[in-house]
Amino acid sequence: MNKGTRAALARSKSIDHQLDAEREKKQREIQLLVLGGAGSGKSTFIKQLRINYGDGFPELEREKFNHQVHDNVVNAINTVLDQMKTLQIPFDNEANKKKAAEFQERNPKISFISLLNQLPDDEIESTKGANCLMSTTELTKRFAYVNLKYNGLQTADIEIVLNIWEDSGVQRCYKRRAEYKGNILSNGEQYFLENMKRVLAPQYIPTLQDILYIRRPTFGVIDHYFYIDDHAYRVIDVAGQKSQRKKWIHFFEMVTSILFFVPLSEFDEYLEEDKTLNSVQDSLQTFHEVSHNQYLERTDFLLFLNKYDLFVEKLKWKRLQVCFPDYDDNNTPEACVKYIRELFHQHRPCHKHVYTHVSCATDVSIMRDILSKVLDIITEINLRKAGTF
């Protein structure tokens, strides 16, 4: 064997070795796929993992969410200003009417649905990196693709929006938000409007609570990596919007468990992308389809009945019957959640184990307890899968 052949053989052995190591690492990695409709709380759940088991969002990382908070303020104020026209509420100060119109022209509402629909169909990307959410650079790149300027609010517009917000006509319209039709203000948007002075201040750095309340739909697929108790976790976050769900199947074969999110409080709401589909009914249908998928026959599911805080509030004035006409028990959160939980369990294949958690993904202390239980369950599933249990 000449020198060149020996060197080539050594290189090939080394590549084989690397591939084996990579394969072994992949086999040991616990892979969690987080599924559920748009806005059900998937990414917020992953932020909680990062808070409890990742870097915890140090200040330098939190700063990167500044623009996302501004985007949420822009969308929220646009909604209130639009509703002033619908509800025919005048500005208290006539000059604000003109300022508001100019502000809206410069800062129109960002429609994430249309942005998602403009992304190429084969957009399946993953962002690797130590416990990181999609970087601002990556987002800027993607938004540039869909022609959205991503600069946050200009200083002059910050002053204008703060002034407009003080107008008593705008405040009256905000107080009547329960009457908004079609375009409701989300819980997070209300939070940012009520904290507007703080979040638009010059040296503002988002707090953990701010980060948990941000609404920024997931584009494509994002990988997150965590190392917890000597286990490597890959947590896969996907977009929940209907047109994006065909990408989910790409990950079915290799996952340890599916984490499925249901937005409990949306039992009287319809999908943004399809106004004929009730949100919780859609979740039930999707859960049925996914849990019966042939590639997931032996995969256990963790079901999160999420947004329980908003669910409890809504049940004070809305009956669960609007979503489930057959439901005739009392309207307490306990009875209602029990009913929904049973419905989901009826929709699973009977051999499949489904571990259920009633959650509030924006609440750090509730999620700390839930996450610890979830990780115990996942470790157990992983051991069982490896055949050592």
Ligand X SMILES: Nc1nc2c(ncn2[C@@H]2O[C@H](COP(=O)(O)OP(=O)(O)OP(=O)(O)O)[C@@H](O)[C@H]2O)c(=O)[nH]1
Does residue number 36 form part of the binding site for ligand X (CB under 6 A)?
Answer: yes
Does residue number 362 form part of the binding site for ligand X (CB under 6 A)?
Answer: yes
Does residue number 286 form part of the binding site for ligand X (CB under 6 A)?
Answer: no
Spatial contact of 306 and 261, defined as CB atoms under 8 Å apart: yes
Q: Using CB distances below 5 to 8 A depending on partner kind, what does residue 44 bind out of ligand X, Mg ion, none?
A: ligand X
- Considering only residues 39, 169, 220, 333, which one is a binding residue for ligand X as defined by CB under 6 A? 39
Does residue number 38 form part of the binding site for ligand X (CB under 6 A)?
Answer: yes
Q: Using CB distances below 5 to 8 A depending on partner kind, what does residue 70 bind out of Mg ion, ligand X, none?
A: none
Q: Give the footprint of ligand X on residues 226-255 (CB under 6 A).
A: 239-241
Least distance in Å: CB of 253 to ligand X?
22
Does residue number 42 form part of the binding site for ligand X (CB under 6 A)?
Answer: yes
212 marked among binding-site residues? yes
Distant-in-sequence, close-in-space partners of 253: CB < 8 Å, separation ≥ 6: 295
Does residue number 211 form part of the binding site for ligand X (CB under 6 A)?
Answer: no
376 marked among binding-site residues? no
- Considering only residues 43, 279, 291, 306, which one is a binding residue for Mg ion as defined by CB under 5 A? 43
Closest CA to 336 of 361, 310, 362, 354: 310
Q: Give the footprint of ligand X on residues 169-198 (CB under 6 A).
A: 186-188
First to last CA, the chain: 49
Least distance in Å: CB of 385 to Mg ion?
26
Q: Give the footprint of ligand X on residues 315-354 (CB under 6 A).
A: none
Does residue number 218 form part of the binding site for Mg ion (CB under 5 A)?
Answer: yes
User: Could you tell me how many residues of this chain bind ligand X (CB under 6 A)?
Assistant: 28
Largest distance between two CA atoms of the chain: 91
Q: Under the rule (CB under 5 A), what is the footprint of Mg ion?
A: 42-43, 218
